[in-house]
Amino acid sequence: MTEQPSTGTRQATRAVRLSERAWGYLLASPAFLLVGLVAVAPIAAALWLSLHRRLPVFGVEEFVGAWNYLQLWSDDRFWAACRTTLYFTVLSVATELLLGFGLALLLDGLTNGAGKSPRWAQVMIVVPWAIPTVVSAQIWAWLYQPDYGLLNYLLHRVNLITAPIDWLADPDWAIHAAVVMDVWKTAPFAALLLLAGLKTIPRDLYAAARVDGAGAWQQFRHITLPLLMPVVVIVLVFRTMDAVRVFDAVYVLTGGGPGNSTETLSIYAYKTLFQTLQFGYGSALATAMFLIVAALSSLYLLLLRRHLQEAT
């Protein structure tokens, strides 16, 4: 506890306060400067670029106003990319959350909510998370390989399929193949965060509930779920943001193909920028995506606001 300054020293304290504040701005300024230079200024520049038609190959550079955005509105490929991104996000985040929750409950139950999880369980959870996304894409590309990939072999062995499936060449399968890879990489980690949350729930609550005659389901429904909600929201927020922005996993696994069936917004924007070198239109795509993510994240920040205030 800090003591309130006495009347005699108030004047001096105010002087210290002021310089403390100045110190604060001074110490925080490198962070603001770097973020401004490498994150905020480029956003503004992208907005500016998106108002131009810019094709470096042909030496074209002209101001076209909102033309790129009008183009975007009638671009089927853009809407298809939106749908693909939405489908990928909803399916993978929902699956990750469910599987992660199940795994967390299982581990928590096995350790009776207190002890350490077994070492191998920790390893199995943390390894997929730590693996570079690019590597996980290569691992799964090999598993999905139609002729001598492990997946087709195993499915064939248990008689689930008769002919090999070319997972990544079939538009209907490819997006789901990408979802499975994403779930593999992130569900264990969702479990890890949820498990950390489970461990903060006081065990007395369960004992008290049992005394009152509550069954397992009632304990879960009225104690576990409500008390874990903040963590669930956090996992949901961060996983959604990652899934909406997904690039490297899908880009390396399928390159957006076959056709454009796995082309997410990030991949479409990236290809427009760096493969066809349309910097203006690509920037419009990127800006549109920024706006979508900004809208989503402000929604989420509202959800998280209570948390944020507690942390401050």
Partner 1 sequence: MSDAGENGRGGVMHWFRFRGLALCILALAGLFCLGPVLWQGVTSIKPDEDLVRLPPIVPERMTAAHYERVLFHSSLVRSLVNSAVVAASATAVAIVVGGLCAFTLARLPIAGKPVILGLVLATSMFPPIAVISPLYLLMRGLGLRDTLIAVGLTHAVYALPLAIWILTSFFRQLPGELYYAARVDGCTPLRALLSVFLPLARPGLAVAALLVFIFSWNEFMFALTLTASDATRTAPVAVALFPGLYEIPWGDIAAASLVVTLPVAGLAVMFQRHIVAGLTAGSVKG
Any contact of residue 311 with partner 1 (CB under 8 A)? Answer: yes
By CB under 8 A, which span of 65-73, 76-84, 168-176, 188-196 interacts with partner 1?
A: 188-196
By CB under 8 A, which span of 59-67, 76-84, 87-95, 280-288 interacts with partner 1?
A: 280-288
Residue in 60, 169, 208, 301 binding partner 1, rule: CB under 8 A: 301
Smallest separation (angstroms) from partner 1 to the CB of 177: 13
Residue in 10, 14, 43, 83 binding partner 1, rule: CB under 8 A: 43
Smallest separation (angstroms) from partner 1 to the CB of 229: 12
The full 3-state SS of the chain, as one line of letters, equals CCCCCCHHHHHHHHHHHHHHHHHHHHHHHHHHHHHHHHHHHHHHHHHHHCCEEEEHHHCEEEECCCHHHHHHHCCHHHHHHHHHHHHHHHHHHHHHHHHHHHHHHHHHHHCCCCCCCCHHHHHHHHHHHHCCHHHHHHHHHHHCCCCCCHHHHHHHHCCCCCCCCCCCCCHHHHHHHHHHHHHHHHHHHHHHHHHHHHCCCCHHHHHHHHHCCCCHHHHHHHHHHHHHHHHHHHHHHHHHHHHHCCCHHHHHHCCCCCCCCCCCHHHHHHHHHHCCCCHHHHHHHHHHHHHHHHHHHHHHHHHHHHHHHHHC
By CB under 8 A, which span of 65-73, 76-84, 167-175, 190-198 interacts with partner 1?
A: 190-198
Any contact of residue 12 with partner 1 (CB under 8 A)? Answer: no
By CB under 8 A, which span of 37-45, 63-71, 73-81, 86-94 interacts with partner 1?
A: 37-45
Q: Give, as ranges, the residues between 110 and 149 that touch partner 1 (CB under 8 A).
A: 110, 112-115, 120-140, 142-143, 145, 147-148
Smallest separation (angstroms) from partner 1 to the CB of 131: 5
Any contact of residue 161 with partner 1 (CB under 8 A)? Answer: no
Q: Give, as ranges, the residues between 55 and 84 that touch partner 1 (CB under 8 A).
A: none
Nearest residue (CB) to partner 1, 122 versus 260: 122
